[in-house]
DNA sequence: AGCACGCCGACT
DNA sequence: GTCGGCGTGCTC
């Protein structure tokens, strides 16, 4: 290898210098010297001094920057750990450039297991020798019988199995009856068996599974959208793709929205493969986390089920990625590195040249567009599994079937609940709003309770006697008197929350057993799990819940779902409002009908002619999605000559919204102004190659700062925000 | 990201 | 008089 002439000229001992990516937001890798005799290939994980501390970094590709030799410091340790492979390194660079963050911060997500870079210590075990014990006792007899198989046992394992104390084993070991042997550490999970217990698939499942098996067998990159209504058996279908990948000896990553990563899913996997997948999510105990990370890099774990962060695990030999519930907003990360794990999963699959499956009962607009345009293959499962039928959907026009004064449940819904109760079946009332009432005002002076910190309404929580801000978490006790005019007992609650719906249901059905479920429920997730089990066993007649009940949980006895206010969320300015509403209605009504009994969904709405309501009631979302897609294109990409403005907000949403309002006022013709979070960038770019104006807003104090600095040099500056022309082509990797 | 340095408000 | 807030800058 050629010696660095500058270093020779400067009289320094010539050392090999390598670029090292550090877990911080620097634009480039730093240069470090390799100690004599050490070597490190790209991807190698090393320990280096950085300022006053030691950090772990990754040796990166390319030439190291030439730096002042006085500054150059030496790598302190080359970890005995498999290097990140080339596809992983390209993935890190790609994600950094696409998300406008730095490769170091992205690499940091891949290195989130501090103590995993050293090999797992071997475990000391004991094996029987030819040596006989000096004296035989009953306890020793049992130990010898237990260990007679000749296998190595851990001390505690053997003591436990033989029913003796550890000191018995120690004694035998002293006499040389046992010899210590070092064993590799236990795998975090046993190996899954692809042929353990294959499900019996129905015709269209079978066909879809066959296509997926062939896709896996053929290998190479490809995206498949697996699209099937709730209960159509998507999981069983993609399990077959997983089985095929395991047979090939490759690893599988299953991405799930955090909420779906439940024991129910893990058990289902266990039933099919005879072992659980390794889990990866934020709640993992540090020790387990390190074991999983390490064993993933060593290919000792073959299937990982995880939340979005699992996408950055350094798999040694990844063969398939599944993204379940691909439409779920939980895939978006909106701090530090902004990304949508669903999109980045497609990129990772592309760079690793492997298949990826996106599964959902209600696919996102952009995935539908990609499927319709032939970039993704499309597998549709149309029927519900076994004898489970989808509920009959009926729209309840609230203008014609008005609830009683002060109430929110229409007579139609109340009647349906009464019938359900009589048949001994369960009802679910869904309202996506916590607390008792979203707004409280004084009837005397009109004072409205606002949050002192963020000026949104304070939500009354009557059960806790509190007024809470659902944006910033501020809370205060509910006062007796109006703080503005001092009038006593004239505060009035406006609008419904689930607590108020529970009150109303109690009034109508005082003898029914009612359970209220929301994310802020006292008792936390443990209590929640207990309540969910109780519901499944039929220990409740009426369940009243927020978004939380829409996902994942199965209520086998549920035959009626009432959506209290289906319009909620349709008018909040979110470009995904209609799409989200459709998905939510679909998920929540899908809770009913699992038992095979006839079931119903009653959707209360003031806008029965809204396209979402029509599409949902007709059971044919196709036209609706077509229209949504077109509207979205129009909004984001107006005809040539009218430049679209997309504000990719790196600051708070209200700030970005305010800025957008200002822009609209200044230029009414630019109808295309909309505010999207950075993780939504692909949505803005559905059509592929487009040049548009990107307003990076409020970039102060966050990761876009460097980006903005760069762009400032090139683009014009405009009133407090930075306006730049950029090309982002999300399809260029496909 | 962490950590140091540095300059202005309320308190042991 | 100090302790401590977070703004700014630096790390091969």
Strand B contacted by A529 CB (< 7 A): no
- Using the structure, give the distance in angstroms from the CA atom of A305 to the C1' atom of C1, rounded to a whole number: 59
Q: Of A93-97, A148-152, A434-438, give the range with the top mean pLDDT.
A: A434-438
Could you tell me the residue range of the domain that residue A369 belongs to? 203-385
Burial class (CB in 10 A: 0-12, 13-18, 19+), A173: middle
Lowest mean pLDDT among A227-231, A448-452, A565-569: A448-452
Which of the two residues, A8 and A452, has the higher pLDDT score?
Answer: A452
d(CA A700, C1' C3) / Å: 28
User: Per the domain annotation, does A2 fall within a domain?
Assistant: no
Mean pLDDT computed over A392-407? 95
Residues contacting A141, CB < 8 A, separation 6+ = none
**Are A561 and A537 in the same domain?**
yes
Q: Which nucleotide is nearest, taking the CA of residue A72 and each C1'?
A: C12
Q: Which residues contact A558 (CB under 8 A, 6 or more apart)?
A: A425, A426, A427, A428, A543, A591, A592, A593, A594, A595, A599
A453, A447 contact by CB (below 8 A): no
Distance A37 CA to B1 C1' (A): 31
C-alpha dihedral, A553 to A556 to A557 to A558, nearest 10°: 50
- Say whether pLDDT at A663 is over 70: no
Distance measured from the CA of protein residue A299 to the C1' of nucleotide B2, in angstroms: 33
Per mean pLDDT, which range of A60-74, A175-189, A627-641 is the poorest?
Answer: A627-641
Å from A697 (CA) to B7 (C1')? Answer: 29
C1’ B8 / CA A701, Å: 21
Q: Residue A489 has what DSSP assignment?
A: S
d(CA A472, CA A438): 15
Query: Is there a single domain that holds both residue A96 and residue A147?
Result: no
Of the pLDDT bands very low, low, confident and very high (cuts 50, 70, 90), residue A454 is low
- How many Å apart are CA A718 and CA A698, to the nearest integer? 13
pLDDT at residue A724 tops 50: no
| Gap from A98 CA to C12 C1', Å | 25
d(CA A692, CA A685): 9
Q: Same domain, yes or no, for A550 and A601?
A: yes
Q: Which residues touch strand C (CB under 7 A)?
A: A 24, 26, 30-32, 48-51, 65, 67, 71-73
* End residue of a domain, out of A183, A211, A231: A183
Give the closest residue to C7 (Cα–C1′). A701
Q: Which nucleotide's C1' atom has the smallest distance to the CA of A75?
A: C12
- Say which nucleotide is closest to residue A68, CA to C1' distance: C12
Q: Is the pLDDT score of A292 beyond 80?
A: yes
Please report, for residues A4, A5, A36, A65, A332, the alpha-carbon distance to residue A9 in angstroms, rounded to integers and kept in the order given: 9, 6, 19, 18, 52
Question: And the tokens for A575?
Answer: 């470009």
Q: Is the CB of A703 under 7 A from strand B?
A: yes
A633 CB below 7 A from strand B atoms: no
Instruction: Tell me whether residue A321 is in a domain.
Output: yes
Q: For residue A68, what is the domain's CATH number?
A: 3.40.1440.60
Residues A506 and A572 in one domain: yes
For the segment A169-190, the average pLDDT, to the nearest whole number, is 88
Q: Which residues in window 195-234 of A are less than 7 A from strand B by Cβ? A: none
Nearest to A541, CA basis, from A508, A575, A493, A499:
A508
How many beta carbons lie within 10 A of that of residue A126, not counting itself?
A: 21
Residue whose CA lies closest to nucleotide C8 C1': A701
Q: What is the pLDDT at residue A5?
A: 41
Nucleotide nearest A24, CA–C1', reads B1
A57 CB inside 7 Å of strand B: no
Residues A427 and A523 reside in one and the same domain: yes
| A287 and A393 inside one domain | no
CA angle centred on A178, ends A172 and A183, rounded to 5°: 135
Is A454 annotated in some ligand binding site? Answer: yes
- Residues A175, A96, single domain; the answer is no
Q: Determine what percent of chain A is predicted with pLDDT higher than 70.
A: 81
A1 domain residue, yes or no: no
Coil, strand or helix: which one is A360? Answer: strand
- Measured CA to C1', the nucleotide nearest A336 is B1
Question: Residue A7 CA to nucleotide C9 C1', Å?
Answer: 29
Q: Which two tokens stand for residue A60?
A: 């990166």
pLDDT at site A304: 98
Task: Give the pLDDT mean for A519-545.
Answer: 86
A182 secondary structure, DSSP code: E
- Determine which helix (DSSP H) or strand (DSSP E) holds A105, and give its type and residue range: helix A103-110
Q: pLDDT at position A597, please?
A: 82
**Cα–Cα distance between A601 and A592 in angstroms, integer?**
8
| Rounded Cα–Cα distance for residues A333 and A598 (Å) | 40
Confidence of residue A681 (pLDDT cuts 50, 70, 90): low
Are A332 and A677 a contacting pair, CB within 8 Å?
Answer: yes
Read off the tokens for A702.
């966050």
pLDDT > 90? residue A238: yes
Query: Which of A396, A409, A431 has its CA nearest to residue A608?
Result: A396
Average pLDDT of span A267-283: 96
The owner of tokens 């009962």 is A361
> Does pLDDT of A640 surpass 60?
no
**Distance in angstroms, CA of A679 to C1' of C8?**
29
A442 marked as part of a ligand binding site: yes
Q: Supply the angle between the helices A622-636 and A611-618 in degrees, to the nearest 10.
A: 150
Give the CATH number for residue A542. Answer: 3.40.50.300
Q: What is the 3-state secondary structure (H, E, C) of A502-522?
A: HHHHHHHCCCCCEEEECCCCC
Of A246-260, A392-406, A573-587, the poorest mean pLDDT is in A573-587
Task: Answer whether residue A457 is part of any domain.
Answer: no
Tell me: is residue A485 an annotated ligand-binding position: yes
For A180, half-sphere exposure in the C-beta direction (CA atoms, 13 angstrom radius) is 7
Side by side, which strands form the sheet with A278-280?
Answer: A278-280, A303-306, A251-255, A318-324, A355-360, A222-228, A377-381
Instruction: Using the predicted structure, report yes or no on whether residue A501 has a pLDDT greater than 60.
Output: yes
| Average pLDDT in chain A | 82
Task: Give this prediction's pTM.
Answer: 0.84
| Chain C, protein-covered positions (CB within 7 A) | 10-12
Among candidate residues A507, A502, A317, A328, the one with its CA nearest the CA of residue A427: A502
| Residue A210, in any domain of the structure | yes
Residues A552 and A602 in one domain: yes
CA A424 centroid distance within chain: 37
C-alpha to C-alpha distance for A423 and A410, rounded to whole angstroms: 20
A625 with A646, same domain: the answer is no
CA–C1' A23–C10 (A): 15
∠ Cα A380 A386 A389 (to 5°): 75
pLDDT at res. A692: 40
Question: Is A551 within a domain?
Answer: yes
Whether the predicted pLDDT of A708 surpasses 70: no
Closest residue, CA to C1' of C11 = A51
Chain B nucleotides close to protein (CB under 7 A) are 1-4
Pairing mode of beta strands A332-335, A377-381: unpaired
The larger pLDDT score, comparing residue A510 to residue A116, is at: A510
Average pLDDT over residues A327-350: 86
* pLDDT value at residue A231: 77
Task: Give the CA-to-C1' distance from A449 to C5 in angstroms.
Answer: 30
* Vertex A69 angle, CA A65 and A74, to 5°: 80
Looking at the fold, whether A366 and A234 belong to one and the same domain comes out as yes
Per-residue confidence band for A13, with pLDDT thresholds at 50, 70 and 90? low
A505 and A610, same domain (yes or no): yes
- Whether A62 shows a pLDDT value over 50: the answer reads yes
On whether the CB atoms of residues A439 and A448 are closer than 8 A, the answer is: yes
Q: Which of A630, A661, A684 is the last residue of a domain?
A: A630
CB of residue A332 closer than 7 A to nucleic acid strand B?
no
Strand B close to A53 by CB, under 7 A: yes
In a domain, A488, yes or no: no
Domain count across chain A: 5
| CA–C1' nearest nucleotide, residue A73 | C12
Average pLDDT of the segment spanning A210-218: 97
Residues A525, A653 within the same domain: no
Per-residue model confidence (pLDDT) at position A385 = 62
Say if A542 falls within a structural domain: yes
pLDDT of residue A697 exceeding 80, the answer is no
Domain endpoint, select from A630, A653, A673: A630
> Is A81 annotated among the ligand-binding residues?
no
Cα separation of A279 and A292, whole Å?
8
Q: How far is the CA of A51 from the C1' of B4 (A)?
A: 10
Nucleotide nearest to A337 (CA to C1'): B1
What b/e string do you get for A208-226 counting C-beta neighbours within 10 Å, with b at 16 or more? Answer: bbebbbebbeeeeebbbbb
């Amino acid at each position: 290898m050629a010696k660095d002439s500058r270093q020779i000229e400067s009289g320094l001992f010539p050392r090999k210098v390598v670029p090292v990516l550090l877990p911080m937001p620097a634009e480039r890798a730093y240069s470090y010297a390799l100690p004599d005799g050490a070597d490190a290939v790209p991807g190698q994980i090393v320990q280096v001094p950085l300022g006053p501390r030691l950090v772990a970094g990754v040796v990166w590709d390319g030439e190291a920057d030439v730096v002042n030799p006085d500054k150059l410091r030496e790598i302190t340790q080359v970890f005995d750990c498999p290097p990140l492979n080339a596809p992983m390194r390209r993935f890190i660079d790609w994600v950094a450039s696409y998300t406008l963050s730095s490769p170091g911060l992205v690499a940091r997500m891949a290195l989130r297991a501090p103590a995993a870079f050293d090999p797992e210590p071997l475990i000391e075990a004991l094996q029987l020798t030819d040596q006989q014990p000096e004296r035989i006792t009953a306890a020793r007899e049992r130990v010898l019988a237990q260990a007679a198989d000749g296998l190595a046992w851990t001390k505690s394992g053997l003591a436990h199995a033989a029913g003796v104390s550890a000191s018995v084993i120690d004694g035998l070991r002293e006499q040389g009856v046992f010899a210590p042997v070092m064993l590799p550490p236990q795998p975090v999970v046993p190996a899954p068996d692809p042929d353990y217990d294959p499900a019996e698939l129905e015709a269209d499942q079978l066909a879809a599974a066959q296509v997926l098996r062939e896709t896996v067998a053929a290998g190479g990159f490809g995206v498949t959208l697996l699209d099937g209504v709730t209960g159509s058996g998507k999981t069983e279908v993609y399990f077959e793709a997983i089985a095929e990948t395991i047979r090939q000896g490759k690893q599988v990553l299953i991405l799930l929205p955090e909420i779906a990563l439940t024991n129910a899913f893990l058990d289902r996997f266990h039933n099919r493969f005879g072992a659980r997948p390794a889990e990866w999510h934020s709640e993992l105990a540090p020790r387990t986390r390190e074991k999983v990370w390490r064993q993933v890099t060593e290919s000792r774990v073959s299937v990982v089920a995880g939340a979005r962060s699992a996408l950055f695990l350094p798999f040694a030999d990844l063969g398939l990625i599944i993204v379940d519930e691909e439409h779920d907003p939980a895939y978006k990360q909106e701090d530090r590195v902004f990304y949508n794990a669903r999109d980045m999963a497609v990129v990772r699959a592309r760079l690793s040249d492997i298949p990826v499956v996106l599964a959902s009962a209600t696919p996102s607009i952009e995935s539908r567009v990609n499927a319709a345009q032939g970039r993704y293959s499309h597998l549709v499962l149309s029927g519900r599994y076994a004898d489970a039928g989808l509920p009959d959907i009926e729209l309840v026009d609230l203008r014609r079937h008005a609830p009683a004064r002060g109430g929110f449940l229409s007579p139609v819904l109340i009647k349906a609940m009464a019938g359900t109760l009589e048949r001994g079946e369960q009802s679910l009332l869904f309202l996506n709003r916590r607390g008792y009432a979203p707004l409280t005002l004084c009837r005397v002076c009109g004072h409205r309770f606002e949050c002192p910190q963020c000026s949104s309404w304070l939500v009354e929580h009557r059960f806790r006697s509190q007024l809470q801000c659902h944006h910033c978490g501020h809370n205060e006790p509910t006062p007796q008197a109006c703080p503005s005019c001092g009038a006593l007992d004239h505060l009035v609650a406006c609008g419904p929350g689930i607590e108020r719906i529970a009150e109303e249901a109690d009034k109508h059905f005082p003898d029914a057993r009612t359970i209220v479920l929301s994310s802020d429920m006292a008792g936390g997730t443990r209590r929640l799990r207990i309540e969910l089990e109780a519901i499944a066993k039929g220990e409740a007649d009426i369940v009243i819940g927020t978004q939380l009940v829409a996902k994942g949980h199965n209520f086998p006895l549920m035959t009626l779902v009432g959506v209290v206010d289906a319009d909620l969320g349709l008018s909040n300015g979110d470009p995904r409002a209609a799409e989200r509403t459709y998905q939510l209605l679909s998920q929540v009504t899908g809770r009913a009908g699992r038992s095979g009994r006839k079931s119903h969904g009653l959707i209360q709405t003031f806008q029965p002619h809204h396209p979402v309501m029509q599409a949902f009631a007709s059971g044919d979302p196709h036209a609706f999605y077509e229209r949504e897609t077109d509207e979205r294109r129009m909004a984001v990409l107006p005809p040539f000559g009218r430049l679209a403005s997309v504000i990719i907000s790196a600051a708070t949403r209200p700030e970005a919204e305010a800025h957008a309002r200002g822009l609209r006022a200044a230029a009414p013709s630019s109808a295309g102004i909309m505010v999207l979070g950075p993780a939504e960038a692909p949505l803005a770019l559905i059509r592929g190659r487009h040049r548009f104006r990107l307003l990076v807003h409020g970039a102060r104090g966050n990761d876009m700062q460097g980006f903005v600095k760069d762009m400032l040099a090139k683009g014009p500056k405009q009133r407090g925000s930075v306006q730049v022309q950029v090309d982002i082509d999300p399809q260029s990797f496909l």
